[in-house]
Amino acid sequence: MIFIGHRIIFRNSKADKVPEIGGGRISVSTHINGLVDPLVIVHSQDRRFTALGRHDLVTRPILGWWTRGLGIQPILRKAEMDEGITNSDFAGEINRRSMLTVSNCISNGYSAVVFPEGTSHQDSVLHGFKTGPFRTVFAAAALAELRNLPQPHLQPAGLHWRNHTKFRTDHHVEYLDPIPIPNPYSQEQAQSLLNGEWVEPPESEVIAMRDSVYSILKEATPDSPDWETYRAWIFIAHRKSQTPVVDLHQEVLKTREIRQQWREGNISQELSENALNAAKILHDHDLDARDLTVEGQLIRKRSSIFSLILGASMMLIAMPVFVLSTFPQAILAWWLGDRTDEGIDARTTYHLMAAMFSLPLFWPIIGILWTLSAVLFYNLPPLFTPFFYIALFPIFYLAAILMALGYDFVNDFRRDRRRALLNRNSLVKSLSDSINLVDESLVALK
């Protein structure tokens, strides 16, 4: 399910090789993209995993069936208590049980995914960390030691997106150096954990680990005053490079160098203002620094019409099967994603859910309708109905992929049209002036 969803909603996706460790792995990461965040981490690893998540992930219709099947453990947060959904005693009992369950899984070599910020957000800086995930990992270390199993590690993970709210965006999963987790429990306390009784680790150890991981993970985020500033840093990074920067991870690393220069006070006010202006003009036209040549001109591809022809042809070929297999859930995801009150991060979550649940929910029902139609209207022999039904699933998948690839080519053409329109816009003079001033300032920065 995750593979299918991942393949359909992302255009380009990459992940670092996960560092080899013997024991359990707890991936700890930033959180700006709802349920997509844990699933891209899971997709890049090959171990069975579990996670701590907000309680309604396991109580919702359909989604709850799936998360319970994966062993997701519910956490009742202060928000639920403030809203009167639960009381502190019940929440404490549920949370202790969930943390103990996850700790046992991790100690036995499972992977876990935790987001210590506690909730998904849309800011360019890291939010404060909750202590729950770090209390869990200490318990896992104690249980592993008592069972004579390899020591578990915390695995900081940076999640990077081209634009996390858009369908067919790019993403990269970055794995930093793993952190071994010490055992702060006494032998007696560890035995209580093994017997199913939650024991709190020393608060000082929890706070120290939380602050240490925060400082590490902070560097894997944009960590900029706002998104406008971060886009300006990206623009400077592209202009500073002598060759086009297309790969997302390469862009992230080069932008970090500019951020460090900014922190050290090496980015002048003039450079910042011109980069902000150029980045804003491009962003307002749904473009970015990749749309400029090394010389600073807007890229023009005279052959972009072929992208439109190829993309439209692919979509037309896939259309008959796509409309009668994946279109219903795709239109539902679009409708719900644009009308949710859970924040913009939920938009891509709906896209991913629609793609993932095609396999176990939508395609089986639609496949039955296809098979019945083949029997009733095309005289398909009953003997061949099982084979026909099974063959529909790869056909449905290929149609969805072909439609997505065609959509990419059409968007390439539309992007070229946007560059052409900007080139004829009065703002192009301001853009060109800002680019020239940025390039001049970068000579001194080098």
Task: Assess contact for 327 and 319: CB atoms under 8 A.
Answer: no
pTM: 0.90
Can you read off the two tokens belonging to residue 131? Answer: 């202590």
Digit-coded pLDDT (tens) for 16-52: 999 998 899 999 999 998 889 999 999 999 888 888 8
3-state secondary structure of 113: strand
Pairing of strands 10-15, 169-175: parallel
Alpha-carbon 330 to chain mean position: 19
3-class secondary structure per residue, 186-242: CHHHHHHHHCCCCCCCCHHHHHHHHHHHHHHHHCCCCCCCCHHHHHHHHHHHHHHCC
The Cα 117–Cα 166 span in angstroms is 23
Which residues, 6+ apart, have CB-to-CB distance to 192 below 8 Å?
199
Residue 336 has pLDDT above 90, yes or no: no
Q: 70 pLDDT band (50/70/90 cuts)?
A: confident
Q: What is the secondary structure of 260-300 as a DSSP string?
A: HHHHTT-S-HHHHHHHHHHHHHHHHTT--GGGB-TTSPBP-
Q: 443 pLDDT band (50/70/90 cuts)?
A: confident
Digit-coded pLDDT (tens) for 152-203: 999 999 999 999 888 899 999 999 999 999 999 999 999 999 999 999 999 9
Q: How far is CA 387 from CA 171, 240, 391, in A?
A: 37, 57, 6
Residues paired with residue 158 on neighbouring β-strands, in sequence order: 174
Domains of the chain, by residue range, sit at: 2-218, 227-285+427-445, 304-423
3-state secondary structure of 14: strand
Q: 82 pLDDT band (50/70/90 cuts)?
A: confident
The predicted structure's pLDDT at residue 52: 81
**What DSSP character marks residue 324?**
T
Pairing of strands 111-114, 49-54: parallel
Fold entry, domain 2-218: Glycerol-3-phosphate (1)-acyltransferase (3.40.1130)
Helices (H), 49-131: 63-70, 78-82, 88-107
Digit-coded pLDDT (tens) for 420-438: 999 999 999 999 999 999 9
Task: Assess contact for 172 and 252: CB atoms under 8 A.
Answer: yes
Q: How far is CA 224 from CA 19, 221, 331, in A?
A: 28, 8, 35
The predicted structure's pLDDT at residue 37: 92
